[in-house]
Amino acid sequence: MESRRIAALADGVFAIAMTLLVLQVPVPTLAAPVTGEAMLDALVGILPAVASFAVSFLILGTLWVGHHNQFRYLRRVDPALLWSNIFFLLCVAFVPFATAFLARFPLEAAPMAVYGGTLLLAGLFLFAHWGHAVNAGLVTDDVTPEVAELVRERISMGMAVYLVATLAGVFLPKVGLVLFACVPVLYLLPSRIDPALEADAALDD
Amino acid sequence: MESRRIAALADGVFAIAMTLLVLQVPVPTLAAPVTGEAMLDALVGILPAVASFAVSFLILGTLWVGHHNQFRYLRRVDPALLWSNIFFLLCVAFVPFATAFLARFPLEAAPMAVYGGTLLLAGLFLFAHWGHAVNAGLVTDDVTPEVAELVRERISMGMAVYLVATLAGVFLPKVGLVLFACVPVLYLLPSRIDPALEADAALDD
Amino acid sequence: MESRRIAALADGVFAIAMTLLVLQVPVPTLAAPVTGEAMLDALVGILPAVASFAVSFLILGTLWVGHHNQFRYLRRVDPALLWSNIFFLLCVAFVPFATAFLARFPLEAAPMAVYGGTLLLAGLFLFAHWGHAVNAGLVTDDVTPEVAELVRERISMGMAVYLVATLAGVFLPKVGLVLFACVPVLYLLPSRIDPALEADAALDD
Amino acid sequence: MESRRIAALADGVFAIAMTLLVLQVPVPTLAAPVTGEAMLDALVGILPAVASFAVSFLILGTLWVGHHNQFRYLRRVDPALLWSNIFFLLCVAFVPFATAFLARFPLEAAPMAVYGGTLLLAGLFLFAHWGHAVNAGLVTDDVTPEVAELVRERISMGMAVYLVATLAGVFLPKVGLVLFACVPVLYLLPSRIDPALEADAALDD
């Protein structure tokens, strides 16, 4: 099975999950005549939903980049890889629900656990996906042991933050929310994996 | 007509249907102040919806893999194949409704029949799709009579389970639900078709 | 501008519009305990929505096939073609609304006019798209004057049915509904354009 | 990282955002028996939603064309470009909310500012995207300083209109609405960038 259609399904699920996130931002309902004060209150009221939209969009962005980086190195796909993809996408597709749940109860333990648990599970499947690809020889020769290790570290970093954010968030919700918001920032920072990726890109020219 | 855009439409419909499934999981509404007990009740209350999301996602995953495997072997597309695709996708697009219906009334015969009937119809179109592709000579030379038969068996297996699950479910709803949940497990088990697919993949290297 | 990304946007809009259609089929709400009679009434109640889902899905299928056939012959894209595509997709994206409107008021003139008008407008943009492609020399050499004429006839056929169905439907709603349901059947019948398309496909082998 | 999957994610987000816009057009609810007058009132009532659907669809169309044109010239992608894409898509995915908000309160300052601000931010990311691509040498040799400047002008034009429309709209809502509706018209007019693009397309033949 070739990797292109799996990537197409994944891009589709990511694009839809990322865009569906916006449906949980409620359009304010205001009694006429609309006063400036009522509108301001309404805007403040939807801020948690807007913030959770943006954070979840960017977290899905980091997962997409991670998935994308793995596929650059895939030479072949076997059924186990195909199915770890589908389980990974199951978690991705669940993020809009977890986001809407957290946006409605931002200071409760349960939605925090559901949100963090969904991301953690997604990270686990992405980690298993890479592990299997390397072990089963499905990757290209560009994947030196060092690159394999860098990719593993990269995914682990996200999972560690999800875990800490979830545990913290169950007891101190606001700390958890701040930590989740930091995930995209972490992935935006230059990383040790970039030179390896850029070296490959340069070779492709 | 080339097969790439048909695959693109199919990947799109699958990705959307799979991701839309999450919209039927209702975000709990709780009166403030939120007690731990009320939250637990709410979580238990959405469990059927979450379970049916996961099961339908994975069943659509098996249908996508089946569709994907057929397209690997397509050399050409004719109008009949194009339209059997569109009818197949019609069933796929209906799955979110059937899932939401079954999640709302998990122990009723009618939603079970609608759910199972939708999947059975999807399987029938997939079966007819393959039959036509083989008979009309639209497949590549890799499709030996043995491979053609293996693909047929593979689709028939799913249809048989859908049929049994539906019939059982109309009378014994819980048995039907368990059987539907088993479909992805069945397709996850190694199958006799895998060596054939892997042999081809190896040749492509 | 190359045609691949335009096709990708189009496939995306079609896949989403086709799949969103299912959201207008309402999941029945029934008071517990659910009686067989109440369930039957509920199923009968959603029949118009299910039928309009299926008919609109298949009509979008015919438009997608028409769009797809045109793109097979495109050699180049210019800004005018790009924009006639975007206006065409605007109509396609509006179909879920028109369908939901018609499903709610199947016997009223206004939703019939909105539904038929949307399809007619889509047909007009598709017709203009082809006319411009041929006139501006954006098509491949495979497009003989005969092929150009066959494609024109094929689109005109659909537009003629939309027009007749709309006009009939405004006065005799049931006749209009039946005529719309016939559109996919018409496109499923073998057509004079098929040999031309198949001849090309054979050449591609 | 190759550009194809980023384009695929972008095409997906655009296709979904453009098609989701239709969900904010409410299907009228009318008490039976439906009178012609009540239906007319209902149609007039949804006109702002239909108009904002069409305008936002076409504005997203102009942003998609702009994104598309940039990708034609990309030779390579680096992490900064990848992330400016994701931030750009974040704005695109927010447009359905901004549209629904504006459609509900077309004459209020706040939704006008949210709508205009979203588009302005999208334009800024598109502008930064191009600037980085040119400065970091990620573009092909076709990008002469003149082409680079033409693309910059093209994006700036849209941003200037968004800014003026937003500022005008906060004080004179109707003027703002008309100006936003003019954006697609502006991009539909032949531009100085077309000859450059067509010259390239001709070279590709």
C151, C139 in Cβ contact below 8 A?
A: no
Asked whether the predicted pLDDT for residue D159 surpasses 50, the reply is yes
Q: What are φ and ψ of residue C74, in 5° steps?
A: -80, 135
Does residue D172 sit in helix, strand or coil?
A: coil
Is B170 in CB contact (< 8 Å) with chain C? no
D89: which chain A residues are within 8 Å (Cβ-Cβ)? Answer: 18, 57
B104, B51 in Cβ contact below 8 A?
A: no
Q: In whole angstroms, how far apart are CA D187 and each of B25, D53, D165?
A: 41, 18, 15
Is C50 in CB contact (< 8 Å) with chain D? no
Does residue B191 sit in helix, strand or coil?
A: coil
pLDDT for B72: 87
Q: Which chains touch C (3 or more CB pairs under 8 A)?
A: A, B, D
Q: What are φ and ψ of residue B74, in 5° steps?
A: -80, 135
In C21-144, which ranges are continuous DSSP H helix? Answer: 36-72, 79-104, 109-135
C9: which chain A residues are within 8 Å (Cβ-Cβ)? Answer: none
Q: In whole angstroms, how far apart are CA C127 and each of A7, C145, C157?
A: 34, 15, 11
Cα–Cα dist B77/A15, whole Å: 28
Does residue C74 sit in helix, strand or coil?
A: strand
d(CA B163, nearest CA chain D) in Å: 35
Please indicate whether, in this complex, the C-beta atoms of B1 and C201 are within 8 angstroms of each other.
Answer: yes
Domain count within chain D: 1
Contacts of D7 (CB under 8 A, 6+ apart): C5, C8, D71
pLDDT for B121: 97
> Which among A96, A158, A147, A164 has a CA at the least distance from the CA of A124?
A158
Asked whether the predicted pLDDT for residue B43 surpasses 50, the reply is yes
Which residues of chain C carry a pLDDT beneath 50? 203-205
Read out DSSP for A159-201?
HHHHHHHHHHHHHSHHHHHHHHHHHHHHHHS--THHHHHHHHH
CB atoms near residue C33 (< 10 Å): 6
Q: Is B29 left (phi over 0), alpha (psi -120 to 50) or beta?
A: beta
Could you list the residue range(s) of the whole structural domain that residue B137 is in?
A: 3-204
Segment C84-129, tens digit of pLDDT:
999 999 999 999 999 999 999 999 999 999 999 999 999 999 999 9
Residue A139's beta-bridge partner residues? Answer: A74
pLDDT for C42: 95
Could you give the angle at the alpha carbon of B28 between the alpha carbons of B27 and B33, nearest 5°? Answer: 135
Is C106 in CB contact (< 8 Å) with chain D? no
Q: Which chains touch D (3 or more CB pairs under 8 A)?
A: A, B, C
The DSSP letter of residue B6 is H
- Asked whether the CA dihedral D163, D168, D174, D178 is positive or negative, the reply is negative
Cα–Cα dist A74/A52, whole Å: 33
3-state secondary structure string across C141-185: CCCCHHHHHHHHHHHHHHHHHHHHHHHHHHHCHHHHHHHHHHHHH
If one compares A196 and D3, the residue with the highest pLDDT of the two is: D3
C83: which chain D residues are within 8 Å (Cβ-Cβ)? Answer: 61, 188
CB atoms near residue C32 (< 10 Å): 6
pLDDT for B190: 72
Asked whether the predicted pLDDT for residue D6 surpasses 50, the reply is yes
Q: How confident is residue D194, by pLDDT bands cut at 50, 70 and 90?
A: low
- Token pair in block for residue B156: 């028939």
Asked whether the predicted pLDDT for residue A132 surpasses 90, the reply is yes
Chain D residue with minimum CA distance to A58: D86
Please indicate whether, in this complex, the C-beta atoms of B27 and A108 are within 8 angstroms of each other.
Answer: no
C108: which chain D residues are within 8 Å (Cβ-Cβ)? Answer: 34, 39
Cα–Cα dist C193/C147, whole Å: 7
Is D71 in CB contact (< 8 Å) with chain C? yes
Q: Is A135 exposed, middle or buried (0-12, 13-18, 19+ CB in 10 A)?
A: exposed
Of C4, C9, C14, C16, which to mutate for an interface test with A (greatest number of A Cβ within 10 Å)?
C16
Chain D residue with minimum CA distance to B11: D12
Residue B74's beta-bridge partner residues? Answer: B139
d(CA D67, nearest CA chain C) in Å: 11
Is C77 in CB contact (< 8 Å) with chain D? yes
Residue % of chain D over a pLDDT of 90: 74
Please indicate whether, in this complex, the C-beta atoms of C5 and D198 are within 8 angstroms of each other.
Answer: no
Q: In whole angstroms, how far apart are CA B90 and each of A160, B64, B191?
A: 42, 13, 28
pLDDT for B193: 64
Chain A residue with minimum CA distance to C8: A8
Contacts of B89 (CB under 8 A, 6+ apart): B9, B10, B13, C18, C57
Asked whether the predicted pLDDT for residue D205 surpasses 50, the reply is no
Its pTM stands at: 0.91
Please indicate whether, in this complex, the C-beta atoms of C1 and D72 are within 8 angstroms of each other.
Answer: yes
Please indicate whether, in this complex, the C-beta atoms of D21 and C93 are within 8 angstroms of each other.
Answer: yes
Q: How confident is residue D53, by pLDDT bands cut at 50, 70 and 90?
A: very high
Residue % of chain B over a pLDDT of 90: 74
The chain-wide mean pLDDT, for chain C, equals: 90
Please indicate whether, in this complex, the C-beta atoms of B39 and A110 are within 8 angstroms of each other.
Answer: yes
Query: What is the rounded average pLDDT of the residues B33-49?
Result: 93
d(CA B90, nearest CA chain D) in Å: 18
B9: which chain D residues are within 8 Å (Cβ-Cβ)? Answer: none
A46, A24 in Cβ contact below 8 A?
A: no
d(CA C189, nearest CA chain D) in Å: 30
Residue D74's beta-bridge partner residues? Answer: D139
CB atoms near residue A93 (< 10 Å): 24
Please indicate whether, in this complex, the C-beta atoms of D96 and A22 are within 8 angstroms of each other.
Answer: yes
Q: Which chains touch B (3 or more CB pairs under 8 A)?
A: A, C, D
d(CA C115, nearest CA chain D) in Å: 13
User: Considering CB atoms only, which of B11, B188, B201 is closest to A9?
Assistant: B11
> Which among B120, B44, B116 has a CA at the least distance from the CA of B88?
B120
D58: which chain C residues are within 8 Å (Cβ-Cβ)? Answer: 86, 90
Is A19 in CB contact (< 8 Å) with chain D? yes
D78: which chain A residues are within 8 Å (Cβ-Cβ)? Answer: 194, 198, 201
Is B182 in CB contact (< 8 Å) with chain C? no
Helices B145-171 and B173-188 cross at an angle (nearest 10°) of 160
Beta-carbon-side half-sphere exposure of residue B72 (alpha carbons within 13 Å): 24
Is C79 in CB contact (< 8 Å) with chain D? yes
Q: Is B185 exposed, middle or buried (0-12, 13-18, 19+ CB in 10 A)?
A: exposed
Asked whether the predicted pLDDT for residue B25 surpasses 70, the reply is yes
Segment A68-120, tens digit of pLDDT:
889 989 988 888 899 999 999 999 999 999 999 999 999 999 999 999 999 99
Of D16, D20, D23, which to mutate for an interface test with B (greatest number of B Cβ within 10 Å)?
D16
C39: which chain B residues are within 8 Å (Cβ-Cβ)? Answer: 105, 108, 110
Q: How confident is residue B187, by pLDDT bands cut at 50, 70 and 90?
A: confident
B16: which chain D residues are within 8 Å (Cβ-Cβ)? Answer: 16
D15: which chain B residues are within 8 Å (Cβ-Cβ)? Answer: 12
Cα–Cα dist A202/B85, whole Å: 41
Does residue D141 sit in helix, strand or coil?
A: coil
Segment D94-103, tens digit of pLDDT:
999 999 999 9
d(CA C137, nearest CA chain D) in Å: 12
B12: which chain D residues are within 8 Å (Cβ-Cβ)? Answer: 15
Cα–Cα dist D111/D117, whole Å: 9
Of C4, C82, C89, C94, which to mutate for an interface test with D (greatest number of D Cβ within 10 Å)?
C94
Tell me the CA end-to-end span of chain B in Å, nearest whole number.
Answer: 27
Of A9, A13, A16, A18, which to mutate for an interface test with C (greatest number of C Cβ within 10 Å)?
A16
